[in-house]
Amino acid sequence: MSIEKLTSSVRNIPDFPIPGIQFKDITTLFQSAPHLKELSDILYERYKEKGITKVVGIESRGFFMGPAVAIRLGAGFIPIRKPGKLPYKVIEETYTKEYGEDTIQIHEDALTKEDVVLLHDDLLATGGTMVAAYNLVKKLGVKKIYINFLIELEELKGSAQFPKEVELNSVIKF
């Protein structure tokens, strides 16, 4: 299977969640076993030699592939969630995204200085959510951070929001 085939399988939903947003629906990738396997294979091959100890997925669509990749890499999975969803002590970050403001949290003991982290989410638009997640993970003092998206909307230039030393990859680019 090719990246082009995966790309053509993403469904566009106009005016969701608000007018003017062209939503990229990735559920079409997950409902197909061959597509799901291909995504898993791509992510595994990309990160298998990086020494990843934890995959950190952002609520909620970062929870789709994050645990699967963690299993394949022999790593743990850490959720970043919206306020009130994590039961233990948290640190949080508030940020602006393309259609409003939001806050995310992570358990304060979720990561250690020895961890090599793969931060994973479904889509890079303006970068606000992942920048907030990156800041949270940095506060916990990990050894190294890699960032991955299933989809990147290149015209919004979200990748420019990250430091040059961060390795950022996207499987599909629009």
Domain count, the chain: 1
CATH code: domain of residue 99: 3.40.50.2020
Residue 22 is assigned to a structural domain of this protein:
no
Any catalytic annotation for residue 152? no
Residue 29 has pLDDT above 70, yes or no: yes
- Scan for tokens 């250690």, then name that residue: 112
DSSP-assigned beta bridge partners for residue 149: 121, 170
Q: Look at residue 139 and tell me if it is in a domain.
A: yes
What would the DSSP string read from start to end of 4-72?
A: HHHHHTPEEEET-SSTT-EEEE-HHHHTSHHHHHHHHHHHHHHHTTTT--EEEEETTTHHHHHHHHHHH
- In this structure, of 16-25, 67-76, 131-140, the range with the lowest mean pLDDT score is 16-25
The strand pairing partners of 172, in sequence order, are 151
Catalytic hit among 92, 98, 108, 167: 98
Catalytic residue among 61, 81, 93, 152: 61
- Structural domain contains residue 55: yes
* The model's pTM: 0.94
Each residue's pLDDT tens digit, 153-165: 999 999 999 999 9
Tens-digit pLDDT profile for residues 52-100: 999 999 999 999 999 999 999 999 999 999 999 999 999 999 998 766 7
Phi first, then psi, for residue 113 (nearest 5°) are -65, -15
Exposed, middle or buried, 98 (CB in 10 Å: 0-12/13-18/19+)? middle
Is 98 one of the catalytic residues?
yes
Residue 37: inside a domain:
no
pLDDT-derived band at 145 (thresholds 50, 70, 90) equals very high
